[in-house]
Structure 1
Amino acid sequence: MEVGDGRNTRFWHDCWCGESALSCRFNHLFHLDVNKDDSLADKWVDGKWQWIWSRLLGSRHNQLLIHLQEEISFCHFSDRPDSWTFTLNEDGVYTVKAVRDLIDRKLLPSSNIKTDWFKFVPRKVNIFLWRFKLNALPVRWNLSAKDIDINSVVCPLCNNGIESRDHLFSSVQQRWTYGLRYESG
């Protein structure tokens, strides 16, 4: 949040100062404040912070107030309106693509494999080929590696090896090749 005139930024609830909302970091003071939904402009009156507490503050609360005032002392108002900036890209503008790229970088497995999307085949085929390249198919070996409880990792088609991507598709290729030889033979 970039503070401008302070009218659209809620003092306690918005994350305008630090990594989290002040209501979380100064919970005791937040509960004592009568005006919990005030904006920054409402709290900043005649060049100083104004508070209306539900009761007198004790020494512990006064120490918290001093700490709060130190944290918010950097706040400077301007004539422009408050605005949100997106710090995950260079231009500061939020876009769905920027968030999607961030999620892809953080959650998807990293790979040097270039993914080609073929627009003339069904989407599910593209997704299948992408997952095949990344070895992310739900074969028994991959499921057991993710701590999913399965009875056995042995291939149920041949009972002769671990069901992995390579085993499954090499055995399919062998059956297909054998079937062609058998029919033509």
Structure 2
Amino acid sequence: MEIGEGDTILFWHHWWIGDKSLSVMFPRLFYLSNNQRGTIKSMGDWVDEKCEWKLSWNRELSGRDLEQANTLHSLINRARANAAAKDGWRWKPSPNGCFSVKTAYKVLCSEKNPTVHPHEDNIWSLIWKAAVPFKTRTTAWRILKGRLPTCDELQKRQVSFQNADILCGFCKVKDETINHTFFECFKADEVWKEILRWIGKQTTMNHKAKEHLLAFINLGNKDDSHFLLVVWLCTIWCIWKERNVCKFNQGVWRKEKLVAEIKTRIWGWMEAFKMQRITSDFRRWFTEAKLHG
């Protein structure tokens, strides 16, 4: 985010400096602020490219709160702005400042990117090259990066919920998180067990997204890895779609229907992307998807 006049960027709520919004980084100071919905422009005066901050608190700060305020000032004093321009977004990896999937992929796979471990490069490459629709790939990427809009992630962005609304859309018992929705919830776990039976495997899977994916695509031999990746991607895609139906359209959970949809979609994708099949008999394949190994 590029700061111009600062009249459209919310000081506390927008992610304009640091690695997250200031309300998340400094929740105590946010609570004490007299201007929780204020813009950057309303929080100080810009002189050249720097700002003379005028933060206001609902009581005098002392002790730990004062230390936090000093840390906050040290952070925001690094900000630079062009007060003659409008606020805007800029994708720094791209020369023209515009986001593209290509530049995002390069950032993820770059050896200079400290957030990507060497063994992760292959994961991103596999996903982006997988024979599945683009939306499915991006959904998987958001799951693995923890950026899917589940209730816990939305709460971090100051989205408010009623108590019942933060619960899992399937089991209605546990709070909704990415790992719970796709892997920990007993209803999602039933789906994975059915898929494992379908491919002729019995094993206990990890409940963390990345570990789950790696374990799943290694259930067979090298010739099976791409097919297993497609199965995994299709399963998480269908679970997410079902979650939205249950969450927003009062849908009723039906495991058998969901598993059937997963298998049918996989067959359709294999045909659309011209993937090699072990058999051309859909009914036999629908009952048992044999692996090479």
User: Considering the TM-score relative to the shorter chain, is it more than 0.5?
Assistant: yes
Q: Which residue of 2 aligns with 1:36?
A: 36
> Which runs of structure 2 are paired with 1:50-69 in the superposition (5 Å)?
50-69=54-73
> How does the TM-score come out when normalised to structure 2?
0.37
Q: Which residue of 2 aligns with 1:85?
A: 90
Q: For residue 110 of structure 1, report the CA deviation from its aligned partner.
A: 5.6
Q: For residue 32 of structure 1, report the CA deviation from its aligned partner.
A: 0.2
Question: 2: distance between equivalents of 1:4 and 1:67?
Answer: 24
What letter is aligned with 2:39? Answer: S
Q: Which residue of 2 aligns with 1:133?
A: 275
Structure 2 spans left out of the alignment, 5+ residues = 108-123, 132-265
The total of aligned residue pairs comes to 132
CA deviations on 1:53-106 (whole Å, 9 max, x unpaired) are: 11111221110011001111111222101101234644322468978999x857
Larger Rg over CA atoms: 1
Identical residues among aligned pairs (%): 21
Q: Which has the higher contact order (CA 8 A, sep 6+)?
A: 1
Q: Secondary structure at the match of 1:133?
A: coil
> How does the TM-score come out when normalised to structure 1?
0.55
Contact 2:10 2:40 in 1 (8 A): yes
Report the RMSD for the aligned CA atoms in angstroms. Answer: 4.0
Question: 1: distance between equivalents of 2:26 and 2:276?
Answer: 46
Q: Which has the higher helix share?
A: 2
Contact 2:270 2:276 in 1 (8 A): no
Q: For residue 108 of structure 1, report the CA deviation from its aligned partner.
A: 4.3
> Which runs of structure 2 are paired with 1:33-182 in the superposition (5 Å)?
33-45=33-45, 47=47, 48-78=52-82, 79-87=84-92, 89-94=94-99, 105=125, 107-108=127-128, 127-129=269-271, 133=275, 163-164=289-290
CA deviations on 1:22-58 (whole Å, 9 max, x unpaired) are: 0000111000001101111100137511122111112
After the TM superposition, list the runs of 4 or more consecutive aligned residues in structure 1 that deviate by more than 4 angstroms.
87-90, 95-102, 108-111
Question: 1: distance between equivalents of 2:98 and 2:126?
Answer: 20
CA deviations on 1:131-153 (whole Å, 9 max, x unpaired) are: 66377x9xxxxxxxxxxxxxxxx
Question: 2: distance between equivalents of 1:81 and 1:125?
Answer: 49
Question: 1: distance between equivalents of 2:71 and 2:16?
Answer: 16
Contact 2:2 2:81 in 1 (8 A): no
Question: 2: distance between equivalents of 1:134 and 1:86?
Answer: 39
Question: 2: distance between equivalents of 1:87 and 1:106?
Answer: 25
Change (3 A) 1:89 1:133: farther
Question: 2: distance between equivalents of 1:95 and 1:108?
Answer: 13
